[in-house]
Structure 1
Amino acid sequence: MNRFSYARPGSVADALREVASNPAAKILAGGTNLVDLMKYEVERPTHLVDVSRLPGLKEIEETETGGLRIGALVTNTAAAYDERVKERYPLLSSAILAGATAQLRNAATTGGNLLQRTRCYYFYDAAMPCNKRVPGSGCPAKQGVNRIHAILGTSEHCIATHPSDMCVALAALEAVVKVAGPNGERDIPLADFHRLPGNMPEKDTNLHADEIVLAVELPEPRFAGKHHTYLKLRDRLSYAFALVSVAVALEMDGDRVAEARIALGGVAHKPWRVPEAEDLLRGKVPDRALFASVSQRLLEGAQGHGGNDFKVPLAHRAVIRALSQAAAGTPQSHTDKRIQ
């Protein structure tokens, strides 16, 4: 691990000054991702800015519009078990509990979850070329071991996937990320926060280098009932990243779908949404044929890279299963992880 300086600012303004003081500075909160990357020599910051004790970022608060504001330093455990989150945004609570271990959820923060680096064997191996670590060095995953890699939104430069479960639910719920920088605060819709790799796979998000995350804001709840699910398919039932995950929230009007939100994880460089696929459900009586049509639209253009070819049919089946669970009001349990 390289040598670095360390600062623990006492306010957001002080934190912003510390970040601006060094272009190689990194924000440290729970450290569940950054510290691992430092140990592997993937990240080599020369200055760490510890924001873990900043005031005002550890609360879950009501918003004026009837939603919730979850501070950047709220732990995953605190968010998942908050009664307001469980009651108004059960999809989010379920997605958080599907991820990691209890110990990691106790340390991991909301802001850190948003800023996780994308997942790839080659990215984590500093001895291998990787366009995310060293732009222009190549993407060996395309012809190498790529079982966990993306099938949507890839580019010739990168086929890595975003690892978060929480962010998939936040995408479906149309959350907004509140950030602060030297020019003040701004809002970034969750759909625009993460990036597809394109020609700059080293850049995971649209957060500026001199900005920090303050909170995630959830809109007024529309999908608070039982018609939701977070279905996570993985190589083992616990403590594994998703091969494919599906977050579904439905608002029902009798036996018809009034509104629908769907997001996929484990398939792209960011949580994957296609609003046009959701529109296919509006006003319809849900059935398997309709779900298959939605799946086809949602996964249009999906393509494997050899080792992950299986993900394409797996994702189709997962979408149909998740929509069936949500329509029936039988959300996937993350205590009994067997697929319902």
Structure 2
Amino acid sequence: MKRAKLSELEAAALVEKRFGLQVCCSRGLTSYDDLNIHVTVGDKWNNANIKFLSENGYVLKVLNSLDSKKTNFVHAMHATIRHVSDQGVQTPTPVLTVEGDEFCMEELPVDTENTSDDPETAEFLVRLFHYIPGEILLGKPYTKKLCYEVGQLGGRLDICLQGFFHSGYENHRRHWSLLEVSNLMTKSEALRSQEDKDLIRDVVASFKQNVVTKYPNLKRGIIHADLNEGNIIVKPRDEITHPSLNHHNTRGYAIYAVVDFGDSVHEYHVFELAIAMCYIMLESTILDPMEAGRYVFAGYMKENPLPELDINVLKECVCGRLAQSVVYGAHVHMHDPSNTHCLHTTRRGGWQLLRRLWHMDKITFLNLLRQTF
């Protein structure tokens, strides 16, 4: 997998050539696999498909070389984005090129340490999105209300996408899909202790026995599948005049938007809830992780009540995502010791949380989630 590399001048030239916009300034945005650049533009443009300028600028998104080949999925992702946007969910939408397409393919320099006069290039899929201002959830105080709203966001997304489908999701699997928990032991060589390996083996075995066998009966649909602290945009409550969710006071932060449908899949609603709970529980510093998870659970169930069968596999799904996070992190670090970001979940207490939840019996786990406020 290769990542594109563009200078400010190259990025500006690409935006003008493909989207007819004149870039005034730009800044790089954090992205693990892709190249994302926030650009602000002048007040003149040469693109008949643009009716008005985005006052907050745009994000130039260049997919990595591997995902650039999955054009049918990109079409599916864009259809999903348009669908939820049409139903009032705040999310960045794609801008059409001067030719009227939602993306274009470009031969661009590869991000490499090679400094030769003949730099390596590859074909990358290029898009431009409207930029939504705000701050990511990461580092904000995870209050009860904010955790509840994260759950509401997940439930609302899944309800919005109920009955929606696109052929690009057929046979589409992602590395981070919870379906891949079943294959987690193939990466267990990265784990140092036998105790850790035994724990992951137990999680995988339970997932296969208690979740995989229930697949035919679980509630299914298109899900975002990555509602983490970096993909949720928040704003101070008193700044939100058109909230996507209901806010009853003006203190603290409120959920404003959701970004990055790059991991969206046609899978199970309980996966959406489990993933959101996992990340909120990991990052919670004000609330005990189980209390934070309880509020995410309550918010989700308010918008999208899951059947008892689905709720009964929630513990295995939350533990499955935690297991993925610590194992994938260790595996990446084993092959690239310089990559310390991949150990974020471990540093945030991922193993401790996994052990705590795993050794909690399911009845206790579910009773704690269902406690009234």
Q: What TM-score does the superposition give when structure 2 sets the normalisation length? A: 0.27
Which of the pair has more CA radius of gyration? 2
More helix by share: 2
TM-score by length of 1: 0.29
